[in-house]
Amino acid sequence: MVIAEQESDNKGPSLTDRLDKALNFYAALFDCLEANVSKAKAVERIMLEKMLLGKEMMKIIGCDGVDRKERHGKFLKTWRPLLELAGFVRIPMDYDRMLQATRPLQSYGNGYKLLDFNQCLFTCWNDLPLFSISAWRF
């Protein structure tokens, strides 16, 4: 199976911790969108930001306890140990095929980067990982 996960660690118990981490992650994500979405598609971007990301941010920052459904975690810190504990084994991805599949993303400009680290592909904006992609088998 292939897993793609946001590289944002916003599971903290305090509002200020969640707010700080969410601001860092979403500022980079919005900067990436701003730099790479044409003015002709601005309305679509605003709808995406409001309907999808806005609700997600509200759930991460504003909800506590059982009401907080959104909990993103970093691959190396959160997901890798949990998947390995459940019996999954990471399998190497074909790096050339991954680069081919993500080649269209490279047109996003100088701020966009792909990093291959520890059998995981990270999509980054200005050196901040936004998403991780990894392959696993049971």
Instruction: Using alpha carbons, select from 79, 104, 115 the residue that is nearest to residue 5.
Output: 79
Domain coordinates of the chain in residue numbers?
2-137
The angle at the Cα of 47, spanning 7 to 45, to the nearest 5 degrees, equals 65
Give, for all 138 residues of the chain, the pLDDT tens digit. 888 888 887 776 777 887 888 888 888 888 887 777 666 677 877 777 777 777 777 777 766 667 766 667 777 777 888 889 999 998 887 767 777 766 666 666 677 888 888 888 888 888 888 888 888 999
Write down the pTM of the prediction: 0.75
Which DSSP letter does residue 78 get? I
